[in-house]
């Protein structure tokens, strides 16, 4: 499997897992919300019916006739209800409606039954015709009419004032539920008859259907959006891994490339030495010089690589200490003066009167400045000048290394900090550069929370400025 396929498969797996988790969360949330809405609506419906039943029971109780033929009295106390076997021609007044507490006759109905379950009175609505005429005494019932409309009804036992002193409505207002009180009364007291409050569930069912529709449409849309966003998010997540993988690949290729030439030349020389006839044995020491040179170059390269890797992995455990930057600059200027003189370069330095201290690893700070000065000398032709200056501005120490050398084209200025990048590979190799000098410089600067900038013009010279934060007690 090639790298592209490997990353694509990982991305797919990541996106699928993310979408799967999100789909499960979304379905659970959607289902819970649906259940909650339905249940709370249902509970509200039952509460409302219980409350109407309680109120009605309380208003009817003192007025219920004890005689065998209650029709006349019922007509008087419930003018808004039709009484069985009587012409039903009611046009209820607002007061009448108020008596039963029901104003929506298309939704609710009321029915009164006698003790034997014979219907005595009913509310004059279109609904009444669709209802079963027989009485079922179970308190709560849900049924479907011939037209397919669902109804929910609540039946309570009616007790007259004479028969008992407890009443359902009063019980409802106390801690005991109406249902409990209903059961108590039903079991212990003789009944006058039954009161039935019911309502259509058309609105409730329509709302449930609407909710289902919203979920049925919304869920696939949400799933598609989740799938698209997880594909995009997985790309974002894989990007840094992919980049770092590519960098590793590039690094391995670069290292192999860097090692190949010196190793090839080294092997060629060793083979030549081995094939040397005994008569030419005296040439061996001279032939070993390039071997030594290449060996040193390799060792230098590997040391630099290890140092850079340790810097990048932050595996240096030595704690930071205040380091005198004046000492670093003056020591290194002095150290490089011999090399500069040999190359016919005028090396100078400017130092402030006060000592500037930065928190850091002293050996790394030496390496930082030494790499920069070495480059300045290396890339400045004979007769040129290199100046190193140290200044302090706003708690920031600046070390500027200016040269009058060959300069760097602006297109190359960002790339020179990459590992193994050289502007002119042949020239840099000849001068012994590994292409790691500025990468090490940048890694050290970053480890010390500093900054490095370069200003350069081809043919006119370069200015590298290293800025390091000065610690609280660093300026002494």
Question: 49 vs 377, which CB is nearer to ligand ADP?
Answer: 377
Choices 50-58, 123-131, 336-344, 433-441; region in contact with ligand ADP by CB under 6 A = 433-441
Report helix, strand or coil for 131.
coil
Strand 193-200 versus strand 140-144 pairing type:
unpaired
Query: Which residue among 379, 398, 443, 468 contacts ligand ADP (CB under 6 A)?
Result: 379
Beta bridge partners of 402: 387, 463
Question: 70 vs 433, which CB is nearer to ligand ADP?
Answer: 433
What number of CA atoms fall less than 13 Å from residue 261's CA on the CB side? 12
Does 258 contact ligand ADP by CB under 6 A? no
Question: 437 vs 450, which CB is nearer to ligand ADP?
Answer: 437
Does 304 contact ligand ADP by CB under 6 A? no
Question: 345 vs 408, which CB is nearer to ligand ADP?
Answer: 408
Does 423 contact ligand ADP by CB under 6 A? yes
Question: 98 vs 260, which CB is nearer to ligand ADP?
Answer: 260
Burial environment of residue 104 by CB neighbours within 10 A (0 to 12, 13 to 18, 19 or more) = exposed
Give CA torsion, residues 121, 123, 128, 129, to 10 deg: 70
Does 375 contact ligand ADP by CB under 6 A? yes
Question: 22 vs 255, which CB is nearer to ligand ADP?
Answer: 255
Q: Which helix (H) or strand (E) holds 457?
A: strand 451-457
CA distance 111 to 133: 10
Minimum Å distance from CB 348 to ligand ADP?
16
Strand 385-393 versus strand 346-350 pairing type:
parallel
Burial environment of residue 85 by CB neighbours within 10 A (0 to 12, 13 to 18, 19 or more) = exposed
Query: Which residue among 329, 438, 444, 470 contacts ligand ADP (CB under 6 A)?
Result: 438
Query: Which residue among 119, 168, 397, 428 contacts ligand ADP (CB under 6 A)?
Result: 428
Query: Which residue among 376, 388, 443, 445 contacts ligand ADP (CB under 6 A)?
Result: 376
Phi and psi for 200 in degrees, rounded to 5? -80, 155
Cβ contact 124:105 at 8 Å: yes
Question: 333 vs 375, which CB is nearer to ligand ADP?
Answer: 375
CA distance 434 to 151: 89
One-letter-per-residue 3-state SS of 389-404: EEEEECCEEEEEEEEC
User: 297-300 long-range contacts, Cβ below 8 Å, gap at least 24?
Assistant: 297/262, 297/432, 297/434, 298/259, 298/262, 298/263, 298/266, 300/432, 300/434
Question: 178 vs 402, which CB is nearer to ligand ADP?
Answer: 402
Does 450 contact ligand ADP by CB under 6 A? no
Q: Which two tokens stand for residue 458?
A: 């081809």
Does 437 contact ligand ADP by CB under 6 A? yes
Location of structure tokens 């200490």: 321
Question: 407 vs 450, which CB is nearer to ligand ADP?
Answer: 407
Minimum Å distance from CB 297 to ligand ADP?
11
Minimum Å distance from CB 430 to ligand ADP?
10
Minimum Å distance from CB 242 to ligand ADP?
26
Residues within window 383-422 making contact with ligand ADP, judged by CB under 6 A: 403, 405-408, 416, 421-422
Q: Which helix (H) or strand (E) holds 255?
A: helix 202-274
The 10 Å Cβ neighbour count of residue 400 is 18
Count of residues engaged in binding ligand ADP, rule: CB under 6 A: 22
Residues within window 28-57 making contact with ligand ADP, judged by CB under 6 A: none
Question: 226 vs 301, which CB is nearer to ligand ADP?
Answer: 301
Cα 87 off chain centre by: 71
Cα 466 off chain centre by: 38
Does 196 contact ligand ADP by CB under 6 A? no
Does 434 contact ligand ADP by CB under 6 A? yes
Does 11 contact ligand ADP by CB under 6 A? no
Query: Which residue among 193, 198, 433, 450 contacts ligand ADP (CB under 6 A)?
Result: 433
Rg (CA), the chain: 48
Minimum Å distance from CB 295 to ligand ADP?
18
Question: 367 vs 422, which CB is nearer to ligand ADP?
Answer: 422
Question: 127 vs 441, which CB is nearer to ligand ADP?
Answer: 441
Minimum Å distance from CB 438 to ligand ADP?
3
Minimum Å distance from CB 379 to ligand ADP?
3
**Would you tell me which residues interact with ligand ADP (CB under 6 A)?**
375-376, 379, 403, 405-408, 416, 421-424, 428, 433-439, 462
């Amino acid at each position: 499997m090639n790298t592209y396929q490997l990353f694509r498969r990982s991305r797919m797996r990541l996106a699928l897992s993310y979408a799967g988790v999100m789909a499960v969360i979304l379905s659970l949330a959607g289902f819970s919300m649906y259940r909650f809405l339905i249940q709370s609506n249902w509970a509200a419906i039952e509460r409302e019916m219980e409350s109407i039943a309680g109120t009605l029971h309380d208003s009817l109780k003192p007025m219920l006739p004890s005689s065998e033929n209650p029709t006349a009295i019922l007509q008087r106390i419930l003018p808004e209800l039709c009484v069985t076997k009587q012409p039903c021609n009611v046009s209820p007044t607002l007061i009448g409606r108020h008596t039963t507490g029901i104003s929506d006759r298309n939704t609710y109905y009321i029915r009164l039954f006698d003790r034997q379950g014979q219907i005595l009175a009913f509310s004059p609505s279109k609904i009444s015709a669709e209802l079963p005429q027989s009485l079922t005494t179970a308190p709560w019932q849900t049924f479907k009419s011939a037209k397919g409309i669902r109804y929910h009804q609540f039946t309570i036992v009616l007790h007259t004032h004479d028969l008992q002193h407890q009443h359902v409505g009063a019980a409802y207002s106390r801690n005991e539920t109406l249902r409990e009180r209903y059961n108590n009364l039903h079991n212990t007291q003789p009944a006058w008859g039954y009161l039935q409050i019911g309502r259509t569930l058309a609105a409730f069912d329509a709302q449930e259907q609407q909710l289902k529709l919203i979920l049925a449409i919304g869920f696939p849309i949400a799933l598609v959006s989740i799938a698209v966003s997880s594909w995009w998010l997985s790309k974002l997540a894989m990007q840094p891994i992919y980049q770092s993988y590519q960098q590793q690949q590039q690094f391995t290729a670069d290292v192999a490339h860097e090692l190949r030439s010196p190793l090839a030349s080294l092997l060629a020389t060793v083979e030549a030495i081995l094939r040397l006839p005994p008569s030419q044995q005296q040439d061996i020491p001279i032939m070993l010089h390039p071997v030594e040179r290449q060996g040193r170059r390799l060792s230098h390269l590997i040391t630099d690589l290890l140092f850079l890797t340790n810097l990048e992995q932050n595996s240096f455990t030595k704690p930071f200490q205040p380091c005198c930057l004046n000492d670093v600059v003056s020591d290194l200027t002095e150290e490089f003066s011999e090399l500069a003189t040999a190359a016919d370069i005028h090396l100078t330095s400017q130092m402030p009167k006060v000592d500037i201290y930065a928190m850091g690893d002293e050996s790394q700070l030496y390496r930082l400045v030494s790499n920069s000065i070495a480059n300045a000398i290396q890339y400045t032709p004979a007769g040129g000048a290199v100046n190193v200056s140290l200044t302090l501005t706003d708690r920031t120490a600046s070390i500027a290394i200016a040269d009058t050398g060959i300069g760097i084209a602006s297109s190359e200025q960002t790339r020179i900090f990459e590992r193994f990048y050289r502007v002119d590979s042949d020239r840099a190799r000849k001068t012994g550069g590994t292409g790691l000098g500025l990468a090490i410089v940048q890694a050290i600067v970053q480890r010390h929370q500093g900054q490095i900038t370069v200003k350069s013009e081809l043919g006119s010279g370069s200015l590298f400025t290293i800025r390091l934060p000065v610690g609280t007690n660093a300026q002494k």
